[in-house]
């Protein structure tokens, strides 16, 4: 897997190259001191992975990621601040590393990139996402995907149900469907998305999750049966 290091700090680039040199899977094909330099290079060269700093003069790493669009390579952000975590994961990057990056943490991120590269030919998915960030009453909260039971559309809001409570999110169900890992969640009705591993039973077109009854629309029935490996 070839990678490009992008950081305006030469010492940081050297440190990242040193880390990468210990991972036989990686081949560093170049370094860029600015996001614009990296953008121009990526128009000509195919790169599997970007080790990308966020705070750079001119164009930031976040802006570069947005400008690359859907054809962007896999991206691991490297930064000295935690402040950009929400924005980073909304861009579906592979990982978010805090400098100075520890070798064990670096390897963990590279392994995630490897799995994505092998399973999706370089298209970043979030099938292994462990959490999402939501804005609930003006406060950003991190929710573990394994704690989500189901989501319910309510006008301009979506109710995200967990065992303890529900969170009211000003969003559309479609937008949240795109952010959730498709291997774990499925839309079963125009107003409902369910966590597949939380389904306790299905009877007469109704899913039961912790005593909650959720309707299954005819349009989604066959897809649901396929997901559940129904015999």
CA distance 192 to 214: 7
Q: Catalogue the long-range contacts made by 223-227 (C-beta closer than 8 Å, 24 or more residues apart).
A: 223/186, 224/186, 224/188, 227/186, 227/196
- Tens of pLDDT, residues 76-118: 999 998 888 777 767 778 888 999 999 999 999 998 888 766 5
Question: What's domain 135-227's superfamily in CATH?
Answer: LytTr DNA-binding domain (2.40.50.1020)
Is the pLDDT assigned to residue 150 strictly greater than 90?
Answer: yes
Asked if omega into 105 is within 30° of 0 (cis), the reply is: no
CATH 3.40.50.2300 fits 2-120, yes or no: yes
Number of H helices, E strands in the chain: 7, 15
How sure is the predictor about 70, in pLDDT bands with cuts at 50, 70 and 90? low
CA distance 31 to 116: 23
Q: Where are the domains of the chain?
A: 2-120, 135-227
């Amino acid at each position: 897997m070839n990678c490009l290091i992008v950081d305006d700090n030469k010492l940081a680039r050297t440190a990242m190259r040193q880390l990468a040199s210990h991972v036989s899977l990686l081949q560093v094909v170049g370094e860029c001191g600015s996001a614009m330099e990296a953008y121009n290079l990526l128009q000509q060269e195919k790169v599997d992975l970007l080790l990308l700093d966020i705070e750079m003069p001119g164009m930031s790493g976040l802006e570069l990621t947005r400008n690359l669009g859907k054809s962007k390579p896999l991206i691991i952000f490297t930064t000295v601040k935690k402040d950009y975590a929400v924005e980073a994961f909304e861009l579906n990057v592979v990982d978010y590393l805090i400098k100075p990056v520890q070798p064990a943490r670096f390897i963990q991120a590279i392994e995630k990139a490897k799995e994505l590269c092998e399973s999706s030919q370089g298209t970043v998915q979030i099938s292994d996402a462990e959490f999402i960030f939501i804005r609930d009453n003006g406060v950003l909260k991190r929710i573990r995907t394994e704690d989500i039971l189901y989501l319910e559309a309510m006008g301009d809001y979506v109710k995200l149900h967990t065992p303890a409570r529900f969170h009211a999110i000003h969003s559309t169900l479609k937008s949240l469907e795109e952010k959730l890992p498709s291997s774990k969640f499925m839309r079963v009705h125009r107003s409902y998305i369910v966590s597949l591993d939380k389904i306790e039973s299905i009877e007469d077109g109704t899913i039961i999750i912790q005593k909650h009854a959720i309707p299954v629309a005819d349009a989604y029935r066959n897809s649901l049966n396929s997901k559940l490996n129904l015999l």
